[in-house]
Structure formats: structure tokens, C-alpha cells
Structure 1
Amino acid sequence: MSKKKNYTSAPFYNIGQLRVTYWNYLKNQTSELARCHRDSKNESAITDSVKILLKELGQVEAYFAFPGKKLVEQYKLALSRKEHTALANNVAETTRRLVSDSYRSNPDFINLGDEKTMKEVEQREEADHVQQNYFEVLFVEEMSEADEIALHQKAAELSQKSDTFTYRFVVQRSFQDALITLLFNYNIQAVVVRYAPPYYSKGISAIIKPYVQNVIKLDLSGRKEVELGPILGKLARQYRPELDTYYVTDTALRDLKDSTIKTFKRIFYRKEDLLEIHLSIMMGVRDRYQTPFFTALKEYSQKPTGVFHAMPISRGNSVFKSRWIQDFGDFYGNNMFLAETSATTGGLDSLLQPTGPLKKAQKMASAAYGSKQTFFVTNGTSTANKIVMQALVQPGDVVLVDRDCHKSHHYGLVLSGALPVYLDSYPIQKYSMYGAVPLEQIKRRLIQLKAAGRLDKAKMLLLTNCSFDGLVYNVQRVMEEVLAIKPDMIFLWDEAWFAFAGFTYTYKQRTGMFSARKLAGKYQSSSYRKEYEDHIKNLKEGELPLLPDPDKVKIRVYATQSTHKTLSSFRQGSMIHIWDQEFRRKSESTFLEAYMTHTSTSPNYQMLASLDAGRRQVQFEGFELVEKSVELAMVLRAKVNDNPMLNKYFDVLTVHDFIPDKYRQTGLTEYYGKEAGWNRMELPWEQDEFVLDPTKVTLHIGRTGVDGDTFKNKYLMDKFNIQINKTSRNTVLFMTNIGTTRGSVTYLTNALLTIAEELDDEIKSLNGREMEIREARIKSLTEDVPPLPDFSHFHRSFQAVPGVPGGNLREAYFLAYDETNYEYVPLKECLPSMEKGKELVASSFVIPYPPGFPVLVPGQVVSTEIIEFLLALDVSEIHGYRADLGLRVFNKKVLDRQKTGTALGAMGISMKNKLSNTK
């Protein structure tokens, strides 16, 4: 006998996971019901389960057009009539279409009672040959059921089979339900707010309450109803800025607030027909669907041409006519070569000085990512970082930078001649990795510079957000408190691994562009001016302000993103996003010069087209895909935590493992626990100093007795062809992204289970001595972790003002071009030499992989902790270090020099003071 199941107790991370799972539950239960004997006890029990599922699904489907609450009601009716076979067949078909997304190409569905069969619908789909991109439109108005039916009928009449797009309305009758729809329904592409909706929902069901706490806590019930429409429009732009918003009102134009007019794409009056709204919706979607450069490239590829420019590969002529590389052409196909050209005219545009489709594509990307300007980069974010550095800082400027940033920033400092002030991230000793830079340390450095009279030299703060391991800053707090000390500071946020973050609200609030826009608006408001004045009045003597002066502050924010790492783009496709109030006046000319310096005159057009097409994708489905990638990461965490075989050898590192308590003001320790289930991440992402991106899933593998590099290559890659980017001594990092599928997570879970079983079998076969060796390896990986060294300091020969942060990296770097200036010291001889009083100063970058950033930079004094760290490393790849020769250090001649002018002096920079960097 089937037992009654309490489905509401099942753990789900988000409403999407719950929804799909419940439809699968319903499919299984209705199938079983169709096989039951009539009027049996089993039939009665299953019927009760189906009733529960239909009731709860009806409460969820109220926020979706497909399958929607109407279809659920029809299924309830079929159940009451005991039409079990028809019910089972239709539920199975609904579930198939929902899970496979096939409804998006043809959302028409067989309603119960229709004479059409499933086969007839499928045949019609095949005959029409029209691929329609389906979306849904949120329509907000307190209307009767009859009016809603009429609205749907009118919309259906306006739709044409030849349309590229087709949509259905989701009607909501309250402010709260409309907001919930925006948070739940990834199919929504437009919002129509018609008149003034009432505030409260008629009932937020228990099943969805855990997922809508932000809506419940938001209390605008005291606002006038006439204000709720514009407020809803603003919230729609905040949570889902990619959507087109429309407003229908009776308010006279003279009485409409400017803020309301700016909020909506278009405002309609009651006398205007639904046709105008329909046409506006379709045009808005068509506008966003454009891919100016990708379209131009496709059109170019189809034109007959004679090739008399560079690139024999163009049109594939040198490939397909070859006897020896035809397989190369066969592999990539015709279109790749038809789209190859070195021409910058004929509609294809120039990347260096775009005037046509590339310019338009970059403008559309700017709108999508929320910047003032966006530039495409075809050499990866390594080049994007150098462009921004060269554009904004010059020799002698001071740049505050996290020491464990990507090596491209360090080389950018060399090229620009700026003086780095290295900031130390807090160490995560147990797992041989670094966290992020505490705000307190950043402010302490700025105060040191201010006390030394060198705050005016501090030009830029450069931080990695998020880090490779998933550490994310409270961007707004950092910028606000830094601007309180240095109101014109430029911020460069390296968001190489965070390009996806702009497309879901929880993540978005910790991005550079969103924070820049928000702070710019805040500082220009009269309410902020009063807040600032009150703040200054209440400061105690000697206390530093935490808020910037609105008369002095300038928002100057740059973000570099590896689009190809987390979104759809060919490899090396990257973007630079800019929100700089001083850009036109101070930085535009130098930025364009730097852009030309580092950008090829022969950029890859396929890469540019992929950036353009990728922008279209995230505008239409970024919200959905990012939410699903987070969901799958959470599922993977739960799989490992809940499975005894997996948690026997593997631990999913979570928030408390990566972030010390003092940086987690809300106290969140983990996203998922076996006993407690899921914890919501919204509040910590609003308030905590640091948060952990859940799409970065780090497994601690110390108890396997296998180090990270071996686990990556011997187990994951060689046995299962599973590729990962990063390991540490005792961890491996898995990342979910918009391309991750449920099948991928299942495959990884199966691989980990297989590895765990193999380890079990291996342990059983070990003799006593072998077991001792294994336990020693485990102890080494779990307890005997090497110390993580901080940045020491620049040697006095490469110091700025004594006792003040700032080191001459450029001079040290170029001094090493002369082989008479350095010598090699074998690594094992370094500590004995240092004990005898020998000063070792690095003459090159030393970058072990992992962790992948410099533990030594040119001009840095080698500390005991750094040597101990290098000796303890068990990685095979260390850039800048040759095991056969040893550590390359400056010789005594260089360190004893007493010049007042150095390499910077040759560039016209006064070096009356020595250069230094102290802790």
C-alpha cells in the first residue's frame, strides 16, 4: 500500500528545484493511480497524495503562465471525475514539456476535454516549421476572472504565427504577488503595471514562504495605492533590470513625476488600446534580441567576394583546396572560414575606432551590464587589466593592491611605473589558500599615507572580486569607507570570475557597476547630504568619518571581466566596464591610448561576435541560467554532505571554513547542513564583510591521502575526463556555471562515489607498513600544513619614503635585465645563508601554481616564512624559479648602491626620497 507522503518537508534550495520535483512527484503518483484497482484502499491513499500535490502546485503555478494555475485546476477536476488514465497521460506530457523546455518553442498544450490528441499537436508543430521564442509578460491589475479571460483571448488574437516571438500573460492582482512573480518566473521579459494595484496578496501559501522572505519583510502597505505602480516599476528595474517595463495610468502628464517617467520604457493612457501595448512589448524584445556585430558578420560571410587582402585562410580558400589540412576545415566547418577577414569596412567595423555595428554592440553590452561605457577585449582579462592600469596611473602614483591578485596586475604595475602598496589577504592556513583583504587593513594603509603627506599620490585601489575560491567583498561598504578618506579614489574590481553576477539580484549588489550606480545616486540626493551632516556632527574627537563628503566625492569605478570564464564567449573574450564620473574629462584620451597600445589591429571577429551573442543570451535568460547554476552548486553540496560514502573521504568547505567569524556579521556558517537543511544567503550577501560564492564548490580531500594535484590528474582527468582549474595541497575546486547541467552533476557525483569505493578497496589491501605510510600522508595533508607567508617588504634600495607604503617594482624588474646584477642561491641554502646575515632580495616574480600569484616580487626581501613555504610546496610548476639553479636574487652590488636617482629618475620622476613599503 502506498503511504501518504509529506512533500512539504522535502528540502529544496529554491522554488525552481521544488517546482520541477513536485511535477515529477505528480507524474509518478498519477501513473500509479492509473494502474490502481477502482475503489481500492491503495487508490484512496494515492488520490489523497495527488490532491496534496495539486493543491501545492496550484499555489506555485499561480506565478507562471505555463503550465499555470488554470491547467492545475483542470487536473483537479479530472481527479474528482476519476479520469485517472487521461490525467496520468496529460501530467506526464506537462512534466516532459516543462523539464525539457520544449514548451518554449510551442507553448500550446492539450487541455483536458479537447478532442486534439498529443500526436496531432506534435504533427502540427512539425508542419509549422516556425521556431517561436516563448516568453511571459507580467500584467499587474486588480481584475475579474472574466476580464482576465478576455485579456488572454485578445492577446492570442494579436499573435501571428509568423512572429519570431510569442508570449502569454501572467496576471497578478497585488503588489506582493507581482514582486514574487519577478523573483520566481524566469520567463518574464516584460512588465505591464496597469493602474494602482492593492498591496497585500490574498494569501502567500506556506509552501512558498521560505523563498519570499524579502517580499514579506518589505512593508510598503502604508504607501498610497497610486504610488504603488511606480514603486513596483522601480523594484522591477532593481531586481530584473533587463526587463522592459510599461505603465498604464489615468494621471495627467503634468502630474506625473519625472522619476516615474524615467522608470518605465513607455507610459500608456486608458484610451490607448491593448494593441499598442502588444506592439511595444514585441518591439522591446526585438530591440534586445539584436546582435549588431554578430548579424553583420553573418551577412558578410554570405556575400560573394574576391579576397585580395591579408589572410589566405579567409573564405577557407587556403584550407579546403589543400591536400594536407582539409581535415582542419572539416573540423571547424565552412562558416568559421567564411567569416574570417582582415577587412574593417563593409559593415564589419574596427575594434579600435568603431563607428558601426561594433559600436552599437558595445553600447548594448553597456546597457546589459549596467555600465556607462563597455569595451570588448580579445586578449583576455590579463590584457584588460593592463589597459586599465596604463590608462589611469602613471609613474610615481601609488596603487593599493591585494598581493594575491592575478599576475597580470603585477606586470601592469611594472609597465605603468606605479608604486604598489601590497595588501595581505587573511590566510586560510588549514587549506593552503588565502582569503580576501579586510577593510580595516585597507583603511590603515590609507591613514599611513595620509600621515606621511602622500595620500594625494594614492590613485587606485585594486581588488579581486570574486577570488578564484569564491570570496566576495562587500563592494559598497569598501568603496564608501575608502571614499570617506580619499574621495577621488579610483577602484579597479577584477571580476574575472564574476561576469555572471550582474544577472541575479543577490549577486548583483556586490558588483562594481551596480555599486557605482547606487552610490552615485545616493551621494547626489538631499537625504544623503543630511545623513552626512548628522554623521559629521556625531563624530567623536579623533574619529574618522565613515561617509564621504558629497561635495568632494567622485565615483570612479572600473571592472574587468572574463566573459568567457562564466558566460557564453569564445576563449579570451573579455570586457571592460566603466562607471567613471570623470571619464570624459580626465581619462577618456589616456584610456583610448592604452586600449590601442594593447589591442591587436587584427582582432578575432568570431570572438567579438561571441561577446555580442553572449550579451543577448544573458539579457533574455541570464536570470534563469545563473539561478540554475547556483541551484546545481547547492545540489552538489547536499549530495556530498548527505552521502555516507562521500562524506567519509570528502568535506565540502563552506562559509565558516573560508571566512573568520569577525567578518560574518550575520553569523551564517554554512549554506546547507544535513540536519538543518538550507540556509538563506540573501541577508549575509547584503550585510557581511565577506561572503562565499556558492558556485565555487571546494572539496577538502585530505582524508583520501592524495594531494590536490594528483587527485586532479590521476583520478579526475585520467579516469573520468573531468576537468577542473584549481587545486591546493589538500583541496580541489569544482565550479558550476550557466553551462552546467544536472547530468554533469550526476556524472561528477558518480565519479566521486567510484573514487571513494576504490579508496575503500585499496585500504583493505594494505599491510601494516603501507597503512602507516598512508596515515602519515593523511596527517601531512590535514595537520602538517605549511605556513602561508604575508608580503614581507621592499628592500631599502627599492623603497619610497621610509616608513611609508609604496615600492618601486618597475625599477627592480628592469634591473634584472642585466645578468651582472643578480645571482642564484639554491633553495635549500637560503635559510642557512640568511642565518649568517646574508640579505636575499628577489630579482624576479616567483609564482607557484597553485596558488597562482607571486609569493615574491622583484625588489621584495625574502623572509624566513617565504622560504619555508616554498620548501613545503609539493607543486611541480613554479614560474620564475628554476630548481636546477635556485632562487634568483640581486647581488650585493645592486643592494649597496647609493644613487639618488634610479630608473624612475630617468623618466623625470624625482627620487630624492628612497622607496619603501612597510607593513
Structure 2
Amino acid sequence: MSTYYNISQLRLESWNDLKFESSNLENISKGSVEGDKQIEKVKKIFKRLESIESYFALPGLFRMGLLLEMIERQEYTAFAHKISEITKLLVSDKYRSNPNAFEDDDLNSDSLEAIDKFDGKGKNYFEVLFVEDISVQEENKLRHDLNEVCTSNDQFNYGIVVQRTFEDAMIALKFNSNIQAVVIRYAPPYKSKKISPFLEPFVQSILNLNIDSKSEMRLGPVLGRLVKKFRPELDTYYVTDTALGNLKDNTLKTFDRIFYRAEDVQELHLTILRGIYKRYETPFFSALKEYSKKPTGIFHAMPISRGNSVFKSRWINDFGKFYGRNMFLAETSSTKGGLDSLLQPTGSLKTAQKMASDAYGSLNTFFVTNGTSTSNKIVVQALVKPGEVILIDRDCHKSHHYGLVLAGAYPVYLDSYPIEKYSMYGAVPLQQIKDKLLQLKEAGRMQLVKMLLLTNCTFDGLVYNVEKVMEEILAIKPDMIFLWDEAWFAFAGFTYNYKQRTGMFVANKLHKKYKSEKYRIEYEEHIKNLKKGEISKLPDPDKVRIRVYSTQSTHKTLSSFRQGSMIHIWDEDFRKKSQNTFLEAYMTHTSTSPNYQILASLDAGRRQVQFEGYELVEKSIELAMVFRAKVNDHPQLKKYFDVLTIGDFIPKEFRASGLSEYYNPKTGWNRMEDAWKNDEFVLDPTKITIHIGRTGVNGDTFKNKYLMDKFNIQINKTSRNTVLLMTNIGTTRSSVTYLTNALLKIADELDKELLALTSAESKIHQDRIESLTQDFPPLPDFSYFHNSFQAVPGVPGGNIRGAFTLAYNEENYEYIPLSECLPTIKEGRVLVASCFIIPYPPGFPVLVPGQVVSEEIIHFLTVLDVSEIHGYRPELGLRIFKDAVLNRQKTVTSMGSNTKK
């Protein structure tokens, strides 16, 4: 049974264990049986830690050796003190502001106090991985030589980690998030000789790489390519004696720079620092800081600029004090003085967007200052003409539906599978997408199909197999454009499991794949073996085009001010087919007065994820997993709360791996690599859905009465019987502890309330529980567009804009009370919605303009217990098109269809 989710958790817990056990050494009688047992216990933990610390520069194996000597000399009190101080440094993470704190002479109370008072002005510390099979003496010489060329003027500090084999280098990259550069010196041997059994569960994916068949001389370049695959943000360098003429092209392209052994180590040192500095630059944020320092005369708009209208005011100077002077000094409408225009960038903003493009793996990246709602509208309007068809998941964000109205596109709505037990929807099965596409093909409308639009990941954490979806759809329509709404998935590009299911990563991967000779052979063999009538699952390499767009709410999961968003593009036809219309759509929706603070935060946030993204995302996953385990293991918590598992969200037929849960109290942690590689859907563990049905309290009440009012805990989403919690890169261990404590107090309070209930009240309470745990309101699918608004009768696709604009005239619609809708439908009248009806939560439309109102939808709206239904006025009822208007519209549509024919 694996008690720990990842190596970070194991490492810190091991240091804490060593701290506790070493403190017991101070009180033992030397030479006693009890004392010998305690020493063996300490040595066992110490040996485990040595295996882990061999992959880190600090405290490092040299210092671990010194600590072991202290035990051998029976200096138990001093040893316990050193262990306590090292543990404090590692747990607080503040040693990175002063790595010298680990030096033997500096490891004292004064140095630790100085670190506690760190003001952020110290040098940033990182680590460099050196890979070469060298002796200890050679390693010491390397450290000495690099130390000799370091100066006080260097902008950064770094330590080095030396690994002698291919596998150990990969393990170091997985374990050590502080590694920012990799230097491969010659070709290392493949197999590790130091992997302890307790480390194996954490490195199984590396042990399964199966690259040891490669010749040892090729392992250096292979390792370089794997570094770029698993952690592409890192700088990679190669030291070799191979003559330039003998270096392969892919080796030259893999590394940021190639050195020769005879070259001075100083050049390597300066190159490492330069690589870090290039990523550290924030062109627009830095320009804005510099601008704010300049004395200026303000003779243009914005009285608030420089804070002049605020700090001199008797009535709003408290506003200025709250935000501070820098906020106002940086407020300007100027595009000069080092600043730039968002609508036509040529300087710092252009560079900042290019650096973001490199960080997120796109060909083009655009900053957006009014949220992903606007990003979605920009992309749809840029790529889809009126009358063209979009396949779109019905329960996507409402901005997409409004974007369809603006573009005049005909939506073909796709239905996610329902999860009725928890009053939520899952995701759209691939087979349904293919069926709709083939239906359109059979109807002769394939040439009008332009885009597939899916939400990845969904609000509740369901993640598509992006590669599988794109590959099988491109096999049917090789020029399909994909828009992946990654509003809640901006963080996913910075850890490998997640990255494999992002639009940009897969676009790049498939582009390379389809251009290769290996794929062409695979495709031809595949076509040859197809049975008669069978449809290919592989795209034709001569026809396929990779055209992928991702919209991301940077502010939702990374560091950015609210409404900070990005559009990432990997479109090989962008310049030829889309650039002009994209820029027009971008200017249509983007303010000529964008908020510079949002733009600066997008720039600074990019710097953060390039240096800390891997570490922070892994930590947010770890905290989510630890919380899951706590709820599952704690008898008081699991009395009222269930953390929903993969099996609760994803039906078996979509889980080829068989993985149904991340954690089980009896068996411990399950590894998720295979599921994330192969399953049709996976569950993002940072989205934690807790079933609260057994509390007898619905989700909205639990959110407001318990979490918000009593503990000031904010959450985003509830359903009838669940609440959704999320960890992110800003989540701390203390906040998870606070949440756990709050749930325990709520559970205790529920216990007290139950004891105080009268028999009548108890019956009411049990009825509530039964309602929340056994009575599930139906989740209706999209019905269909009324034939007045169908593009072609009987074929998926509706004229949503026509229906939307028809309702501009109030004489065209009427209101029917919700209670009268079912009887009216049963009498034979077809009710057609004239507006969007959007319950919140979940926040997607159950009715769109032109859609026929089904009995299932009315029943759903009747039993819905949410606080808001956008577009619905209870005192009036549903807004429905009049029959006479529909008949008139039907005639117009029919005439239009005949004319086209």
C-alpha cells in the first residue's frame, strides 16, 4: 500500500519523521538496547532520505554524509538540532532566498531568522542538472570550477545536481521541480543502479520508457529530446567531442546550445545564466514599471492617471490608499514610452505575446483583457461565416451560444452523457460526434461544417482524450477546425499527464506525426486492411490540416488579474486563411482602452509558470489528493461527505484502463498515467466534488449557510446534492487544513442538530436526505430546432440567429406560465423558445432560441432548485413564439430552401 501520493509528500514527511526520531536520541542511554533500537530507527529513515536527496542539490549528499558522521560520533544533540533546522528550511521553502543557509557554519538560529525576514530582494535560486558518468573527484572538480566563475554580480544563484545514468536524470527531472537547466555531458549509460524499492511506485513511468535498446552513443540526444517533451520550459545544453559535420540535424535542433569539452567552463556558466534571464524577462510588465517611474505631464484623458484625481480628493483618497500609488502611476492610455498598443503591437506587448506563445506551445498567442467569454466570441466570429455549421456541446459556456448568434453559424448540438444521480452532465462521447458528422455528410452538408467546439476540461473536471478526438474526426473531415475551450485548464500545459490532453500539445504532436514517413506507411497499411464499408480512423496525410484554437481563462487557474485571458493558436493555415478575419474579429471585440494592469499580469504570470509552473501544478494536485484521502479515511467526515470518484463521473465504457478511483483507504494510491494516456475521459483531480446528500442540506444552502457564512470559504459551483471544491497554484497546506477543520466542525454541528430533532422534525430531515440521495430530476437532452429554424428539414443544424432576431419584435412572442406548459404540450401545441433559458448553476442553456420545448425540459425546470434562471421571469413564464409567427417563418424558410435548391 502506497501511503504517499508523490515524492514531495514522502520527502517532507520523511524529514519530519527524522526530526521526531532524532529528538528522541538526546534522551537515550548510549550503549543500551533501547538506545541501539532508536539509532537503527533513525538510520533507516536517514537511508531512505539519502535515496531521495541524491536527486536534489540541497541539502545534497555531501551534507547528508556529514550528518551521518555526527551519528557515528554519537553527537546526538547536535545531530537533532541540525535535522530540526534543515527540516524547517525545507518545509518553509525559504532556503531558496539564501541557499548558503545549508552551509555547516551558517546553519544557525541567526541565519534562519534572517530567512524568515526575507523581503524578496535576494537572488533567486535554481538548480542545474548535469548528466554524465563521472567519478566523485570529477564531480567535485566540476563544482569547484563552476564556483570559481560565479561572481557577486550574477543575477541568480544556482546549485548543481549530478546524475550518472539516463534513468536517474529522468527521475531527477520528475522529482526536482527546482531544476531549470540541463547539461548533458556526453552520453550517459542507461540503467540506474540506485533506485530503492520504496521509490519504484513514483518512477514506474520512467522505468517503462524502454529506451535502453538505443545505442549508448545516442542516449545523450535522446535524453535531450525527452527533456523537451516532459519539461519543455527547461534550457538544455549538450557537451560533446563529436565534430559538427557528424552531428545530426535533430541533435542540433534539440539543444539550446552545444559545447565542446575544451571550451572554458565560464562560457557554460554565462550561458546558463543568460538562458534563465531570457525567461525571466517580462517585456510589458517591465516597461510599465519603468513608465510609472517617469515624471509626466498629463494633458490627455484619464484624470485617474498618476493618481492626481484620487490622492488630492477629500472624498475618495481612501480609494487610493487601499490600492496604493503604483496602481495609479501605471494607469495610462499612452502606447509610447516603452508601452505598446494591444490592437497593433510592435514593441513590448508583441514580445510578451511571443514569449507566452513559446511558454504555452502555440504558434500564435493573443492577450485578451475582457475574459474568455470575449475570447470565445472572437474565435467563432473569425472562423465561421453565416450559414456554416459548428458541432458544439450543448452544455458549453453561454458565451459560445451568443457567439453563434453573432456569427450567424448553424449549431449542431451535441449532448453530454447525463450524471443524474448528482444533477450534472458529463462530456460528449466521441461516437456521438462522429455519428452527427456522418449524418451531415450523408445529407450533403459536409462542405459547410467548419468547426468542432468542446469544453476541456469541463467545470466538473472531465477531460477529453484530445488526441483521439482530433485524429478520428480528422479521418472523416481532414480540414476540421477545433476550438477547445480550456477556460479551466490554463494550468494543464505545465505537467506532463495534463499536457497530453491540451489543444496546443496535441496539435504540435499530430502535425509532426502526419508529416512523417512512418505515419504514411502506417496509414497505407491501415487503409489496405479496412473491411468493405468500414470508415478509416486515421486521417489522410495528403489532405489533413492541423487547425486548433484554445481559449484560456488565465485568471481562473494561473496568476492574472480578473478577466485576464489568452487565445492560443496552432493553425498551419492561419496566415493563408484566417489571419485577416481573426484580426478583424479581435478588433471588433477588444477595447481600444485595454487595462494595462491585466496585460502586465498576463506577462508576469507567464514568467511564473515557466519557472514554477511544474512545481506549483504538481503541488496543487498533491493537495487535492491529500484532501481526498483525509475525507475518505476520517470516520466523522465520511459519515456525511463522499468525495466522488472517477467511477462516479465516467461510465465503464469510457475507461479502458479500468481505473475507477485515485485513492482507496485499503489499497492506497492508484497511479493515473495509463488512464490519462488511453481513456476516453479522465477526471482532473484538482476538481473535488463532494456529495453532501446525507447532510439533508442542498448544495446552494450548504455553500451559503455553512461554508460562506460560518467559515468564509468560497466555492464556485454546487448542484442539488454536491459542492465543487478546487485546488490551484495558490492553494496552501494551511488552507486545505482549514477546509478539513471546517468540514469537521460542520459534521459535529450536524450531529448535534440530529440529536435535537423531534420525531416530526426527524421525519422531515429523513425525507430531505431521501430526496437528495434517491430522487433524481431528469437531465434533458437537446430536443431539436423547430422546422421553421432548421437549416435543412430533418438534418441537424439550426438558424439560431434567425430565431434570436425574430424575437426583437415583442409582437412575435407571448408568455406561458411554467405550470401551464405541460398541459399545453399534451394538448398538441408545439412550444418554441424565443430566448435563451439558462439555469445557474450549471450555467448553460436548457433552451436556445428556435428550440422546441420538450416535456422533459419543462419537468427539469419545474423541479430545479437553483437561485437563478437567466432569461426566465417566474411572474410571466416561458417566452414562446406565437404560432402565427412560426407558420409565417416556416413558409419563408421553405421558400428559401427551394430557392437554394
TM-score range with shorter-chain normalisation? over 0.9
Letter in 1 for 2:335: T
| 1:755 counterpart = 2:746 | yes
Secondary structure class of the residue paired with 1:883: coil
Secondary structure class of the residue paired with 1:878: strand
Q: Which of 474, 484, 492 is matched with 1:483 structurally?
A: 474
| 1:377 counterpart = 2:368 | yes
Asked whether the equivalents of residues 131 and 164 of structure 1 are also in contact (C-alpha less than 8 Å), the reply is no
Secondary structure class of the residue paired with 1:842: coil
| CA–CA separation in structure 1 for the residues paired with 2:102 and 2:481 | 58
Q: Which deviates more from structure 2 when the two are superposed, residues 739-748 or residues 129-138?
A: 129-138
Q: Structure 1 125/117 Cα, relative in aligned 2: closer, same or farther at 3 Å?
A: same
Aligned to 2:73: 81
Q: Which of 457, 467, 479 is matched with 1:466 structurally?
A: 457
Asked whether the equivalents of residues 798 and 914 of structure 1 are also in contact (C-alpha less than 8 Å), the reply is no
Aligned to 2:414: 423
Aligned to 2:27: 35
Q: Deviations over 1:284-318 (max 9, x none)?
A: 00000000000000000000000011000000000
| CA–CA separation in structure 2 for the residues paired with 1:354 and 1:627 | 34
- How far apart are 1:811 and its partner, in Å? 0.3
Secondary structure class of the residue paired with 2:717: coil
Root-mean-square deviation (Å): 1.7
Aligned to 2:543: 552
- How far apart are 1:137 and its partner, in Å? 0.4
Q: Structure 1 129/609 Cα, relative in aligned 2: closer, same or farther at 3 Å?
A: closer
Letter in 2 for 1:170: V
| 1:240 counterpart = 2:242 | no
Residues 258-657 of structure 1 correspond to what in structure 2 (within 5 A)? 258-657=249-648
Aligned to 1:847: 838
Asked whether the equivalents of residues 98 and 115 of structure 2 are also in contact (C-alpha less than 8 Å), the reply is no
Aligned to 1:17: 9
| CA–CA separation in structure 2 for the residues paired with 1:836 and 1:116 | 84
Q: Which deviates more from structure 2 when the two are superposed, residues 305-314 or residues 220-229?
A: 220-229
| CA–CA separation in structure 1 for the residues paired with 2:880 and 2:792 | 23
| CA–CA separation in structure 2 for the residues paired with 1:894 and 1:483 | 40
Residues 221-236 of structure 1 correspond to what in structure 2 (within 5 A)? 221-236=212-227
Aligned to 2:879: 888
Aligned to 1:179: 170
Q: Structure 1 121/815 Cα, relative in aligned 2: closer, same or farther at 3 Å?
A: closer
Letter in 2 for 1:718: D
| CA–CA separation in structure 2 for the residues paired with 1:225 and 1:120 | 45
Aligned to 1:4: none
| CA–CA separation in structure 1 for the residues paired with 2:682 and 2:734 | 28
Residues 28-107 of structure 1 correspond to what in structure 2 (within 5 A)? 28-107=20-99
| CA–CA separation in structure 2 for the residues paired with 1:397 and 1:24 | 62
Asked whether the equivalents of residues 801 and 913 of structure 1 are also in contact (C-alpha less than 8 Å), the reply is no
5+ residue gaps, structure 2: none
- How far apart are 1:120 and its partner, in Å? 6.2
Asked whether the equivalents of residues 644 and 690 of structure 2 are also in contact (C-alpha less than 8 Å), the reply is yes
Aligned to 2:799: 808
- How far apart are 1:39 and its partner, in Å? 3.2
Secondary structure class of the residue paired with 2:253: helix
Aligned to 1:799: 790
Secondary structure class of the residue paired with 2:704: helix
Secondary structure class of the residue paired with 1:212: helix
Q: Structure 1 841/831 Cα, relative in aligned 2: closer, same or farther at 3 Å?
A: same
Q: Which of 706, 709, 721 is matched with 1:730 structurally?
A: 721
Letter in 1 for 2:58: F
- How far apart are 1:129 and its partner, in Å? 9.6
| CA–CA separation in structure 2 for the residues paired with 1:895 and 1:604 | 45
Letter in 2 for 1:520: H
- How far apart are 1:804 and its partner, in Å? 1.2
Secondary structure class of the residue paired with 2:853: coil
Letter in 2 for 1:94: I
Q: Structure 1 417/770 Cα, relative in aligned 2: closer, same or farther at 3 Å?
A: same
Q: Structure 1 267/851 Cα, relative in aligned 2: closer, same or farther at 3 Å?
A: same
5+ residue gaps, structure 1: 1-8
Q: Deviations over 1:613-658 (max 9, x none)?
A: 0000000000000000000000110010000000000000010000
Q: Which of 236, 239, 245 is matched with 1:254 structurally?
A: 245
| CA–CA separation in structure 1 for the residues paired with 2:17 and 2:874 | 60
Asked whether the equivalents of residues 900 and 912 of structure 1 are also in contact (C-alpha less than 8 Å), the reply is no
Asked whether the equivalents of residues 367 and 566 of structure 2 are also in contact (C-alpha less than 8 Å), the reply is yes
| 1:215 counterpart = 2:206 | yes
| CA–CA separation in structure 1 for the residues paired with 2:852 and 2:514 | 43
Q: Deviations over 1:794-819 (max 9, x none)?
A: 00100111221110000000111100
Between the two proteins, the alignment pairs up a number of residues equal to 901
Q: Which of 127, 136, 153 is matched with 2:127 structurally?
A: 136
- How far apart are 1:164 and its partner, in Å? 2.0
- How far apart are 1:893 and its partner, in Å? 1.4
Q: Which deviates more from structure 2 when the two are superposed, residues 50-59 or residues 61-70?
A: 61-70
Aligned to 1:26: 18
| CA–CA separation in structure 2 for the residues paired with 1:592 and 1:115 | 57
Q: Which of 837, 840, 861 is matched with 1:870 structurally?
A: 861
- How far apart are 1:46 and its partner, in Å? 1.8
| CA–CA separation in structure 2 for the residues paired with 1:276 and 1:312 | 51
| CA–CA separation in structure 1 for the residues paired with 2:654 and 2:109 | 57
| CA–CA separation in structure 2 for the residues paired with 1:394 and 1:68 | 61
- How far apart are 1:121 and its partner, in Å? 7.7
Aligned to 1:681: 672
| CA–CA separation in structure 1 for the residues paired with 2:119 and 2:464 | 51
Aligned to 1:195: 186
| CA–CA separation in structure 1 for the residues paired with 2:134 and 2:686 | 41
Residues 829-844 of structure 1 correspond to what in structure 2 (within 5 A)? 829-844=820-835
- How far apart are 1:124 and its partner, in Å? 10
Asked whether the equivalents of residues 385 and 560 of structure 1 are also in contact (C-alpha less than 8 Å), the reply is yes
TM value normalised by structure 1? 0.96
| CA–CA separation in structure 1 for the residues paired with 2:114 and 2:877 | 72
Secondary structure class of the residue paired with 1:647: coil
Q: Which deviates more from structure 2 when the two are superposed, residues 539-548 or residues 221-230?
A: 221-230
Q: Which deviates more from structure 2 when the two are superposed, residues 521-530 or residues 33-42?
A: 33-42
Q: Deviations over 1:826-883 (max 9, x none)?
A: 0011101111111111000000011110000000000000000000101120000000
Letter in 2 for 1:81: R
| CA–CA separation in structure 1 for the residues paired with 2:315 and 2:217 | 73
Instruction: State, as a whole percentage, how many aligned pairs show the same letter.
Output: 68
| CA–CA separation in structure 1 for the residues paired with 2:791 and 2:59 | 67
